[in-house]
């Protein structure tokens, strides 16, 4: 019997890629999204890649009755929870909106999972490590006080899951993503930032296509080899595949502990300047960029030790930065063609 996975936020950037990988691995997937931060582009792209329509439920998980109804209508073996607001700066300006949305929705998912005996996968973030004392970070590296309400919701949701697993005999996994970038090799799904992008790669591709005049590189005086920040950029398809491994581990009862945490990164630090230079070289483009002041809240360097995910999930990032940057550019060009 095929197992069913509910993907909340399944029409978004990460959710759509995870939906494709789960479907291709043989899972039935139900996509649920309130479409507050996206349009139908990625949902249509997912269906085009798979060559069939997937069940889609327009639902806001802050609505407890609607969430409950959804869990009653499908027999869900695992839920992957992506549905959340994700802009760091906006969360500082509107903390209540972030706390209400990101916490309420996950609490409702947890309540449904408790009642229905559903496995839970939570999409966490390397942001929980803050400015680490040592790099690379392992899953046992200390979590630092969050520097934004957004980061705080990631830490709180991890704790909600840990406590529910302990109290109710549930099973849960938190995946801590480093910096997801790129797009599906088909260029049919990808990142669709609203307004001016906060993240580096969408800003690079929008500058390359002419939507933005100039890329600001935030700081070149950090204590790193070239003075710019170091991050662990992980290909979105590689990252999506980690979810298939984690869901399978839960559904097949192969967990060592009922609550587990895994870093999902490459283990490879890349500087902002290196990434920009790679983008230029791989795609044969000269980018207009300048060195700008540091961005408040940025940490100097953070990258993953991904050993645990390799050992326990049997997962490893395989795509090169070059391949991923080519996919990001192919996606931006496709968006431009579609807009013509």
Active-site positions?
A: 150
Q: Applying CB under 6 A, does 325 fall inside the site for ligand UFG?
A: no
Q: Tell me whether residue 10 or residue 202 sits nearer to ligand UFG (CB atom).
A: 202
297's tokens = 């809240």
Site string for ligand UFG, 292-321 (x = CB under 6 A): ---x--x-----------------------
CB atoms within 10 A of CB 66: 16
Q: Tell me whether residue 10 or residue 219 sits nearer to ligand UFG (CB atom).
A: 219
Minimum CB–partner distance for residue 219 and ligand UFG (Å): 7
Among 79, 200, 236, 313, contact with ligand UFG (rule: CB under 6 A) = 200
Q: Applying CB under 6 A, does 324 fall inside the site for ligand UFG?
A: no
In 3D, which of 10, 107, 100, 37 has the Cα closest to residue 68?
A: 107
Sign of the Cα torsion 252, 261, 149, 228 reads negative
Site string for ligand UFG, 219-258 (x = CB under 6 A): ----------x-x---------------------------
CB atoms within 10 A of CB 229: 24
- Choices 20-28, 29-37, 161-169, 197-205 (CB under 6 A): range interacting with ligand UFG: 197-205
Q: Decide: 237 and 185 in contact? Cβ < 8 Å.
A: yes
75's tokens = 């027999």
Q: Decide: 190 and 183 in contact? Cβ < 8 Å.
A: yes
Cα 271 to chain centroid distance, Å, stands at 20
Q: Which residue's CB comes closest to ligand UFG?
A: 229
Among 125, 152, 324, 327, contact with ligand UFG (rule: CB under 6 A) = 125
In 3D, which of 109, 110, 142, 111 has the Cα closest to residue 128?
A: 142
Distance between CA 304 and CA 285 in Å, rounded? Answer: 30
Q: Applying CB under 6 A, does 43 fall inside the site for ligand UFG?
A: no
Q: Rule CB under 6 A: which residues touch ligand UFG?
A: 86, 88, 125, 127, 150-151, 179, 198-200, 203, 215-218, 229, 231, 272, 295, 298
């Amino acid at each position: 019997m095929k197992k069913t996975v509910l993907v909340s936020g399944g029409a978004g950037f990460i959710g759509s890629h995870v939906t494709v990988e789960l479907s291709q691995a043989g899972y039935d997937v139900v996509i649920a999204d309130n479409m507050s931060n996206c349009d139908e582009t990625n949902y249509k792209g997912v269906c085009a890649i798979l060559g069939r329509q997937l069940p889609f439920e327009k639902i806001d998980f802050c609505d407890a009755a609607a969430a409950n109804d959804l869990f009653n209508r499908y027999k869900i073996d695992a839920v992957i929870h992506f549905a959340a607001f994700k802009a760091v700066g906006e969360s500082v300006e509107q903390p209540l909106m972030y706390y209400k949305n990101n916490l309420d929705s996950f609490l409702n998912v947890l309540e449904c999972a408790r009642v229905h005996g559903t496995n839970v996968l939570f999409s966490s973030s390397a942001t929980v490590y803050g400015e680490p004392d040592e790099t690379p970070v392992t899953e046992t590296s200390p979590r630092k006080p969050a520097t934004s309400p957004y980061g705080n919701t990631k830490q709180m949701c991890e704790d909600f899951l840990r406590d529910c697993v302990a109290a109710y005999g549930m099973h849960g996994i938190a995946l801590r993503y480093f910096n997801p970038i790129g797009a599906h090799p088909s260029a049919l799904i990808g990142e669709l930032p609203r307004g001016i992008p906060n993240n580096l790669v969408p800003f690079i591709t929008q500058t390359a296509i002419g939507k933005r005049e100039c890329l600001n590189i935030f700081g070149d005086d950090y204590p790193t080899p070239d003075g710019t920040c170091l991050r662990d950029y992980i290909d979105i398809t590689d990252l999506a595949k980690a979810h298939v491994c984690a869901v399978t581990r839960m559904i097949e009862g192969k967990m060592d502990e009922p609550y587990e945490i895994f870093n999902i990164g490459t283990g490879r630090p890349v500087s902002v300047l290196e990434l920009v230079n790679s983008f230029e070289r791989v795609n044969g483009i000269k980018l207009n960029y300048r060195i700008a002041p540091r961005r408040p809240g940025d940490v100097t360097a953070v990258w993953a030790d991904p050993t645990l995910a390799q050992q326990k999930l049997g997962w490893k990032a395989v795509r090169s930065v070059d391949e991923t940057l080519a996919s990001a550019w192919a996606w931006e060009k496709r968006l431009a063609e579609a807009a013509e």
